[in-house]
Structure formats: C-alpha cells, structure tokens
Structure 1
Amino acid sequence: MSVAVIGMIAGMALGFAGYFGGFGAFLLVAALGAVGFVVGRFLEGDLDPGEFFRPRDDRRR
C-alpha cells in the first residue's frame, strides 16, 4: 500500500471521527494514530529507542 493511500485512509478516519464524535474524538483518533505510527516504526526496525534520548546537538566532549 502506498503512503498516499495510507494518508488518505488516515484523513478519512479523522474526518469521520470529527463529524460523528466532535472535536474530542478527532483529537483522540489523531493521538492514537500517532502512537500507532511510532509503534509500527519500532516494530519495523526503522526507529531506534535511543533516538528519543540522544541530545539534540550530537557534539561529544
């Protein structure tokens, strides 16, 4: 499945949540989608947990 199709599906899910559930449901679906994205990246091996704990400036002293 291409990234465009996945983005379209995510947008449709957010649209339905916003229309039928209101703004709170929209935010809940968006937050859960972001969590699912990060978990999926971990499971695929594209994201390393150490990337969240590294300092912003990669300078080593």
Structure 2
Amino acid sequence: MNPTLIGLAVAAVLGWAALDHGFGGFLLMALFLAVGALAGRVLEGRLDLRGLRDALTGRRSSS
C-alpha cells in the first residue's frame, strides 16, 4: 500500500475521532493507532522487541 494513502487513511480516522468524540477521543484513537502499528511491525518481523528492550534499559546488543 502506498505510504501517502496510508497517511491519508490515518488522518481521516483521527479527524473523525476529533470531530465525533472531541480531543479525548482523538488522543485515544491516536494511542490505538500507534499500538496497532507497533503490533503490526512485530508480527511482520520488522521490529525486534528484545533489541528494543535492551536499548531502553541501556544494554548493548553487540559486543
């Protein structure tokens, strides 16, 4: 899928949430979209959670 089309779809969803549910709904929808994107990258194998955890805790992944 084209990145421009994906960005347009995300903007439409966030715009709908803002119009229909106010700023709180907008923030909640943005959080759900971020979690969904993160889960999709993990399932595709494009994000290594162990490496991410090591980076966040200050451990080095290479020796």
Q: What are the ranges of 5 or more consecutive residues in structure 2 without an aligned counterpart?
A: none
Residue in 2 that maps onto 1:5: 5
Counting aligned pairs with the same residue, the percent is 38
Q: How many aligned positions are there? A: 61
Measure, in 2, the Cα distance between the counterparts of 1:14 and 1:59: 36
* Mapped pair 1:33 → 2:33: yes
Once residues 45 and 61 of structure 2 are traced to their aligned partners in structure 1, the CA distance between those partners, rounded to angstroms, is 25
**TM-score of the superposed pair, with normalisation by structure 2:** 0.83
SS of 2:29's equivalent?
A: helix
Runs of 4+ displaced beyond 2 Å: 55-61
Query: Structure 1 CA distance, aligned partners of 2:5 and 2:26?
Result: 20
Give the aligned residue type for 1:54. Answer: D
Q: What runs of 5+ residues in structure 1 fail to find an aligned partner?
A: none
The amino acid of 1:2's aligned partner reads N
Which one has the bigger helix percentage? 2
TM-score w.r.t. the length of structure 1 is 0.86
What RMSD over aligned residues (CA atoms) do the two structures have, in Å? 2.0
Match of 2:48 in 1: 48
- Measure how far apart 1:60 and its partner are: 6.6
